[in-house]
Structure 1
Amino acid sequence: MEKALALLLTALLAAAYAAPGPRNLFINLDEGEICLNSMQCKSRCCQHNTILGIARCTHKAWENSECSPKTLYGIYYRCPCERGLTCEGDRSIIGAITNTNYGICLDTGRSKQ
């Protein structure tokens, strides 16, 4: 009985030691992983397609693609732009509440030259 208990304890300790840590369970999520808020994602964009759809971490919007300037809820229908780009489009309060304030990512620095 003692040998079986010792073997079981050793097996449990080995399994616990081999399991990955919880450090990436809720934050620093990679693209494609399920999220509840953009702050959880490495890209800082948690996106879903419908109100009942599952939200997943995804990349930020590229130049000339659809974007959202801000969200009140932490989940986007369209991700914000990559660094250096600006989301030119609707910035109304109603659009922010209904999450329909879409625009297009533009490089404003390039147009000034």
Structure 2
Amino acid sequence: MEKALVLLLVALVAVAYAAPGPRGIVVNLDEGEICLNSMQCKSGCCQHDTILGITRCTHKAMENSECSPKTIYGIYYRCPCERGLTCEGDRSIIGAITNTNYGICLDSGRSKQ
């Protein structure tokens, strides 16, 4: 009986090591996969269109596209900007609470020149 348990344990460990990368239902999700928070997505953005809409991982906002600044909720109506861009727009307290303080992604390095 003990030998069977040891063999089963060894087989389970071998399968666990053979599995590709740390990907699954919790973290490191690809674009289009359902998410609960932006920390789960490879892109860093979990977005939905309506309050009752399904949230899915999507790419971050590109230059000159609509964006939201970082939020404490981790779910966006508009994704934050890609690296190197800043979300320029309304930064009101009410907008931060309701997640409606949208802006436009602008290149911060270009505006300083």
TM-score of the aligned structures, taking structure 2 as reference length: 0.79
SS in 1 for 2:105: strand
Unaligned runs of 5+ in 1: 1-12
CA RMSD of aligned residues (A): 2.4
Could you tell me which residue of structure 2 aligns to residue 74 of structure 1? Answer: 74
* Amino acid corresponding to residue 41 of structure 1 in structure 2: C
Cα displacement (A) at 1:74: 0.7
Tell me the distance in 2 between the aligned counterparts of 1:84 and 1:58.
18
Matched length: 101
TM-score of the aligned structures, taking structure 1 as reference length: 0.79
SS in 2 for 1:24: coil
Cα displacement (A) at 1:23: 3.2
Is this contact kept in 2: 1:70–1:96, CA < 8 A?
A: no
SS in 2 for 1:60: coil
Unaligned runs of 5+ in 2: 1-10
Tell me which structure has the larger Cα radius of gyration.
1
Could you tell me which residue of structure 2 aligns to residue 24 of structure 1? Answer: 23
Structure 1 residue ranges, 4+ long, deviating more than 4 angstroms after superposition: none
Matched residues, percent identical? 83
